Chains A and B, each alone.
Chain A
Amino acid sequence: MSFLKVIGVSKYWGGNKALENITFSMDSNILAIFGPNGAGKTTLLNIIAGIINPTKGEIYYNERNITKLKPWERVRLGISKTFQIVRPFRTLTVEENILLFSKIRENVNPEEVMKITGLFDFRYKYPDQLPFGYLKRLEIAKVLSANPEILLLDEPFGGLNSEEIKELLDVFIKLKTNGKKLIIIEHKISSLLDIAENVIFLDRGKKIFEGSIKKFLEFENIKEYYFGGIGNA
């Protein structure tokens, strides 16, 4: 059964079509949304999270229409989103950043969240004292502390080196093992090939492809959208 359905979602900014009639259902554990810059990936994620409203279309979560719900109401239902550009609370320590959201749905053990995300040793540090890769982890930890069912991850690998990407992938695998569903939008296709189950490919606001990762790898047209093909994307 699909727990998340996006039906006919469009978003227009004036005359500019950021998204056009996007429809999909999520029934896998990890869904990757790929696409070049300006494809509408972040807009789509923001619409699912309730941060922006669609011009047309509806969002259903567990058969409930959530299109009109505010972002904090969607978090309470179990949908949480990270920001592409990290937004930690700079006057709070790492532990406090996590504690802040830990009572939203049910009491979450902040220590467990810090252990999963590898932040336990930095618990008393302030965000400004963390390396960039750990700020990305903190962004995920903040969202995890609300105990979501679906995590919407907006370009989590942006600005990370290959070692940091590998470490973050391990975190995602742990989350999947713990029963979390992930929607990850990413510019770099290669980074998600090993963990994504299903893929949606967007270009200029339109859905170009939807299917399993295996079919996606066989999808020849993809190379046209990325100079140099999948391997270099």
Chain B
Amino acid sequence: MNLGYLKSKGFILSLLIILITVILSFVINSPYLTLSFLISDIFIIMAVGWDFSSGTTNYINFGISFFFGIGALFTGFFYYSFHLTIPLLITQAFLISSFSGFLITIVTLKVRGVFFTLLSLLLPLIGTDFILAFWTVLKMPTIGYYGLPSLSNSLQISLIYISIFLIVIITLIYALYSGHIGLILKGIGDDEEAMNAQGINTFWYKVLIFSISMGIVGIAGSLYAFSTSFAGIDTFGLEFLLFPMIIAIFGGKGKILGSIPAGYIIIILSQYLQLYVGQLTLISFAAFAIILFLFFPKGISRWFS
């Protein structure tokens, strides 16, 4: 495997930014800021997962909140039902979300463009209803599981753990992105018809990539459950679809590493907007997002990589 990407400026800068957030959380010692960094890391994991598949291939997937919700909900379920350890809970979140991603994408990836986008939204909506119904029949808590364990009693140590997760995930994704799989992803994004005509059956590559991506989003769901000590139906919400997409697009669609600075900017901004403007958060954030996209239509990655 070519490990040259580990020396790339963009990759080193990404690690540096993550390190700075950890250092800042200790220097400033503000629980709110530390929590904001921690939530940012989780959203960045989601954004990177989404960007790896949708951003590179141009198959815009509107279903990621479903996989995030699955990751969180099953973390709660397996914790209370089988008392699994945290590493096993994170592993199951990856496997179940990946498998769900596989089942959904072998259907949705048969179509392209707007049809794929619509199906990627509809099938997870059906899936969410199905899970709710299933949970009700089995008399499990549909509202959610409270009191899940934290990664650590210290918020700052939790941030370190989640930062390590983020680094491992971006290293693995960037390794894939920098290798032959990355070429295929970019090729699909450029001209999929030409790829198929010139010898590459793109379907199973897409299924593989989307399954991995949704598995990563599931990990983010599990980490979110540990960070908030809660996993329930709220984790299937719209914000877990919009924020990762906005982060990935602001970071530069298909650029993977751009999501890291973009994630910190967007999540910290929205957290502090919530603190100071309360109910006007959504309006203020929407205005800010519009300004960002007007002034940075290609995202911020060109300054970053």
**A70 contacts B198, C-beta separation under 8 Å:** no
Is B30 an interface position by the 8 A CB rule?
no
**B198 contacts A99, C-beta separation under 8 Å:** no
Please give, as numbers and ranges, the residues of chain B lying within 8 Å of A75 by CB-CB distance.
198-199
Please give, as numbers and ranges, the residues of chain B lying within 8 Å of A92 by CB-CB distance.
183, 186-187, 190
Which size class do B's interface residues fall under?
A: 10 to 19
The total of interchain contacts (Cβ-Cβ below 8 angstroms) comes to 60
Specify which of B180, B195, B201 is in contact with A99 (CB 8 Å cutoff).
Answer: B180
**Interface hit among A21-29, A79-87, A114-122, A215-223:** A79-87
Q: Across the two chains, which residue of chain A brings its CB closest to B194?
A: A87
Is A68 an interface position by the 8 A CB rule?
no
Q: Give Cα distance in the complex from A90 to B254, angstroms.
A: 14
Please give, as numbers and ranges, the residues of chain B lying within 8 Å of A87 by CB-CB distance.
191, 194
| B179-193 contacts to A (CB < 8 Å) | 180, 183-184, 186-187, 189-191
Q: Give Cα distance in the complex from A11 to B29, angstroms.
A: 74
Q: Give Cα distance in the complex from A49 to B186, angstroms.
A: 23
Q: Across the two chains, which residue of chain B brings its CB closest to A100?
A: B183
**B187 contacts A143, C-beta separation under 8 Å:** no
Q: Digit string of B193-217 for contact with A (CB within 8 Å is 1, else 0)?
A: 0111111110000000000000000
Specify which of A72, A83, A90 is in contact with B199 (CB 8 Å cutoff).
Answer: A72
**A100 contacts B189, C-beta separation under 8 Å:** no
Q: Across the two chains, which residue of chain A brings its CB closest to B180?
A: A103
**A71 contacts B191, C-beta separation under 8 Å:** no
Please give, as numbers and ranges, the residues of chain B lying within 8 Å of A146 by CB-CB distance.
198-199
Pick the most buried of B184, B189, B195, B200: most chain A CB atoms within 10 A of its CB. B200
**A91 contacts B199, C-beta separation under 8 Å:** no
Q: Across the two chains, which residue of chain A brings its CB closest to B190?
A: A89
A89-B191, A99-B180, A103-B180 are contacts. A72–B186 as well, Cβ < 8 Å?
Answer: no
Q: Across the two chains, which residue of chain A brings its CB closest to B254?
A: A91
**B198 contacts A91, C-beta separation under 8 Å:** no
Q: Give Cα distance in the complex from A100 to B184, angstroms.
A: 7
Specify which of A73, A76, A89 is in contact with B194 (CB 8 Å cutoff).
Answer: A89
**A83 contacts B184, C-beta separation under 8 Å:** no
Beyond the given pairs A99-B183, A100-B195, 15 more chain A to chain B contacts, judged by CB atoms under 8 angstroms and listed by A's residue number, are A71-B196, A71-B199, A72-B196, A72-B197, A73-B201, A75-B198, A83-B197, A87-B191, A89-B186, A89-B190, A96-B186, A103-B180, A104-B200, A143-B198, A146-B199
A-B CB proximity, top 5 nearest:
A75-B199, A89-B190, A104-B199, A87-B194, A71-B197
A-B contact pairs, 17 of them (CB 8 A): A71-B199, A75-B198, A83-B197, A89-B186, A89-B187, A90-B190, A91-B189, A91-B190, A96-B183, A96-B186, A99-B180, A100-B180, A100-B183, A101-B198, A101-B200, A104-B199, A104-B200
